[in-house]
Amino acid sequence: MYRVEKTEIPGVLILTPMVFEDQRGFFYEAYSEKALQEAGIDFMAKQENRIMNEYVGVIRGLHFQNVPYAQAKIVRCTKGHVDDVAVDLRKDSTTYLKWVMVGLSAQNHKQLYIPKGFAHGVISRESHSEIEYYVDETYCPEADRTVRFDDPLIGIKWDVETPILSAKDQNAPLYKESDCNF
């Protein structure tokens, strides 16, 4: 069972599982189709991805896959602390090009549900932070798109002095409406 919180962007949800703690530590259901259904989320995982960011200030993103490989994602942080970002690229949305940033940590156990139609990015706030996330569609390099993390049209406040990026993300183009087919 999840506690479900809405964000400023309809469809993007913060899911907090019920955590059972005792003298040994904790237990919780990290992924449950039934709990997702009860939360009104139609999601079937096809792939689980893991990321480790060695340094504070590592940014990955902004990434998405186009239709028919568009991916919904459920992201959680299993070590350290990250800020996870979803950018609304649904052209018919009232929150088109708006973004939300949610703190995910190994302590708060929060998960971010990002529907299809969004770009995703993440920044590490602690060294060696790890995230694990499920996607409901398989990886398809041909459908994969990258938008600049600091695109002024989107204006994400990353609050970082020296971001650390892959060459691909560093050289990513600014957002163009024609980039995505949502």
Ligand X SMILES: Cc1cn([C@H]2C[C@H](O)[C@@H](COP(=O)(O)OP(=O)(O)O[C@H]3O[C@@H](C)C(=O)[C@@H](O)[C@H]3O)O2)c(=O)[nH]c1=O
Q: What angle do CA 90, 96, 101 make, to 5 degrees?
A: 100
HEC sequence for 3-56? EEEECCCCCCEEEEECCEEECCEEECCCCCHHHHHHCCCCCCCCEEEEEEECCC
79, 106 contact by CB (below 8 A)? yes
- Per CB under 6 A, contacts with ligand X among 67-106 are none
Smallest gap, in angstroms, from Cβ of residue 49 to ligand X?
6
Q: Does residue 116 belong to the site contacting ligand X (CB under 6 A)?
A: no
Q: Does residue 61 belong to the site contacting ligand X (CB under 6 A)?
A: yes
- Per CB under 6 A, contacts with ligand X among 29-58 are 49, 51
Compute CA 67 distance to the chain's CA centroid, rounded to the nearest angstrom: 18
Smallest gap, in angstroms, from Cβ of residue 148 to ligand X?
13
Q: Does residue 12 belong to the site contacting ligand X (CB under 6 A)?
A: no
Catalytic residue, candidates 2, 109, 120, 133: 133
Decide if 63 is catalytic.
Answer: yes
Residue 7, both tokens: 């964000």
Torsion angle of C-alpha atoms 41, 96, 61, 120, degrees rounded to 10: 0
Q: Does residue 11 belong to the site contacting ligand X (CB under 6 A)?
A: no
Q: Quick one: 4 or 51, whose CB is closer to ligand X?
A: 51
Decide if 133 is catalytic.
Answer: yes
Q: Does residue 122 belong to the site contacting ligand X (CB under 6 A)?
A: yes
SS3 assignment, position 168 = helix
For ligand X, the nearest residue by Cβ is: 139
Q: Does residue 166 belong to the site contacting ligand X (CB under 6 A)?
A: yes
Question: What are the two backbone dihedrals, phi and then psi, of residue 108, each rounded to the nearest 5 degrees?
Answer: -85, -10
Q: Considering only residues 54, 128, 139, 171, which one is a binding residue for ligand X as defined by CB under 6 A? A: 139
Q: Please list the active-site residues.
A: 63, 133
Residues that bind ligand X (CB under 6 A): 49, 51, 60-61, 63, 120-122, 139, 166, 168
